């Protein structure tokens, strides 16, 4: 999807950009078509050849991608070569994205937003079911050559659920165990890995280092916009008949009252709200897709 948003439309485009086999690429493109984020369209009749175009649902993922990109730019200096800067064509500056509340246009910090489960929400739906629990840990180097640390946090359902639980207030091993019903070996493995990535700090309690409190670091808290935008896209395009899985409220720091929270992204340089068409990759000038790529 990252390549599609950067302009890939033909099989060869993905093959050239990713270390991926023909068969894996074929099956993933098929899956993305089934999910309704890409659609197949013939571009040549003899022999018949298809290209893969973003649908509106797929194009909507650009906000999540920009949030991921911004987090990696700001917090993951290990990239070699460095990942290209994001460029805002409206103010003509490189930028890092800022998460805003669509209701009050104030920049949102994790402590100012509160989430509760809606009718379709429960932790049990966010974790792997029994039949898939034995898959190996994702996030090994090479899983996603562009954003390996994001992949470590989101590329696997246990990891993603643990990040969600941390933002929901889980601090100790037993909190994660209780909330997620996760196998202890999975939990200790991921907690250790998240500490290695400086997402959590393991703070000893009462002089005991064997039962630390896991606190989100600044780097960990800075991942909040990614989570918010992915959840928002999920709820916008994949409805559950029972209603939303998560309901978020925002209370600005100086206010007594809260209001519904929907995330928006703004340019950290000029403060203007970001639109996909106004963002360029500073190195290659690949533009995020405009409406001409869309299907209605």
Site residues for Zn ion per CB under 5 A: 88, 91, 101, 103-104, 250, 267, 269-270
Nearest distance from C-beta of residue 89 to Zn ion, angstroms: 8
Nearest distance from C-beta of residue 283 to Zn ion, angstroms: 18
In the bound state with Zn ion, the residue whose beta carbon lies nearer, of 112 and 175, is 112
For residue 86, which of 144, 5, 141 has the smallest C-alpha distance?
5
Nearest distance from C-beta of residue 259 to Zn ion, angstroms: 6
In the bound state with Zn ion, the residue whose beta carbon lies nearer, of 58 and 276, is 276
In the bound state with Zn ion, the residue whose beta carbon lies nearer, of 57 and 88, is 88
In the bound state with Zn ion, the residue whose beta carbon lies nearer, of 58 and 70, is 70
What is the rounded (10 degree) CA torsion for 199, 266, 56, 58?
-20
Nearest distance from C-beta of residue 96 to Zn ion, angstroms: 10
Nearest distance from C-beta of residue 108 to Zn ion, angstroms: 7
- State the pairing for strand pair 113-117/246-250: antiparallel
Contact 171, 215 (CB under 8 A): yes
Nearest distance from C-beta of residue 233 to Zn ion, angstroms: 19
Whether omega for the bond prior to residue 81 falls within 30 degrees of 0, making it cis, is yes
Contact 14, 30 (CB under 8 A): no
In the bound state with Zn ion, the residue whose beta carbon lies nearer, of 107 and 195, is 107
In the bound state with Zn ion, the residue whose beta carbon lies nearer, of 88 and 264, is 88
Contact 166, 158 (CB under 8 A): no
């Amino acid at each position: 999807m990252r390549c599609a948003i950067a302009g890939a439309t033909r099989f060869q485009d993905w093959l050239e950009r990713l270390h991926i086999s023909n068969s894996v690429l074929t099956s993933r493109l098929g899956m993305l078509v089934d999910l309704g984020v890409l659609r197949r369209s013939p571009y040549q009749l003899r022999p018949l050849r298809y290209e893969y175009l973003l649908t509106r649902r797929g194009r909507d993922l650009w906000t999540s991608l920009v949030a991921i990109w911004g987090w990696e730019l700001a917090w993951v200096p290990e990239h070699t070569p460095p990942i290209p800067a994001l460029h805002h064509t409206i103010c003509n500056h490189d930028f890092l994205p800022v998460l805003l509340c669509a209701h009050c246009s104030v920049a949102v910090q994790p402590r100012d937003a509160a989430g509760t489960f809606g009718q379709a929400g429960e932790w049990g739906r966010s974790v792997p079911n029994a039949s898939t629990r034995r898959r190996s840990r994702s996030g090994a180097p090479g899983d996603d050559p562009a954003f390996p640390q994001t992949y470590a946090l989101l590329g696997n359902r246990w990891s993603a659920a643990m990040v969600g639980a941390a933002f929901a207030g889980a601090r100790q091993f037993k909190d994660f165990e209780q909330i997620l019903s996760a196998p202890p070996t999975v939990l200790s493995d991921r907690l250790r890995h998240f500490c290695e990535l400086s997402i959590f700090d393991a703070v000893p309690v009462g002089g005991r280092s064997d039962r630390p409190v896991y606190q989100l670091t600044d780097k960990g808290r800075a991942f909040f916009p990614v989570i918010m935008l992915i959840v928002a896209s999920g709820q916008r395009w994949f409805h559950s008949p029972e209603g939303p899985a998560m309901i978020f409220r925002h209370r600005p720091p100086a206010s007594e009252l809260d209001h519904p929270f929907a995330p928006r992204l703004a340019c950290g340089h000029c403060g203007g709200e970001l639109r996909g068409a106004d963002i360029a990759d500073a190195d290659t000038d690949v533009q995020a897709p405009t409406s001409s790529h869309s299907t209605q």
